[in-house]
């Protein structure tokens, strides 16, 4: 069964304090791993898609990496506006268009 586990559940950082969020997954044939950002009271907003181990993508202070078992979302020198819940999701070969989401990591960045 496809599964996604994110850690930690919550992360509190000082502004400028770099860190990483973890997404561990098991899937029958990875078609894509997705990262989303969700602000309180809003729908998730797409950040990245990673397709194969070794792939990396960057956007401003965020960098996503992928191995065969996990993905990391690295946040470099975060700012308070980076505070949000970050969701990881996977799509496998056996689920059609089904995407399995993790429970998310809530990030708080204090000025």
CB of 51 to other proteins, least distance (A): 7
Binding range to other proteins, per CB under 8 A, among 18-26, 28-36, 60-68, 69-77: 28-36
| Distance separating alpha carbons of residues 98 and 14, to the nearest angstrom | 36
| Distance separating alpha carbons of residues 95 and 62, to the nearest angstrom | 29
Candidate list 12, 42, 59, 69; residue touching other proteins; CB under 8 A: 42
CB of 25 to other proteins, least distance (A): 13
Position 96 contacts other proteins (CB under 8 A): yes
| Distance separating alpha carbons of residues 74 and 22, to the nearest angstrom | 9
Candidate list 62, 75, 78, 91; residue touching other proteins; CB under 8 A: 91
Judge whether 35 and 71 are in contact, CB under 8 Å. yes
């Amino acid at each position: 069964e496809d599964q996604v586990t994110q850690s930690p559940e919550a992360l509190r950082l000082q502004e400028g304090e770099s860190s990483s969020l973890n997404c561990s997954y098991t899937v029958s044939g990875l078609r894509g791993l997705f990262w989303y950002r969700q602000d309180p009271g809003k729908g998730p907003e797409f950040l990245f898609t990673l397709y194969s181990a070794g792939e990396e993508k960057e956007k401003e202070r965020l960098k996503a990496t992928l191995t065969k078992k996990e993905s990391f979302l690295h946040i470099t020198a975060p700012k308070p506006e980076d505070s949000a819940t970050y969701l990881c999701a996977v799509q496998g070969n056996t689920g059609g268009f089904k995407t399995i989401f993790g429970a998310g990591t809530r990030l708080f960045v204090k000025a």
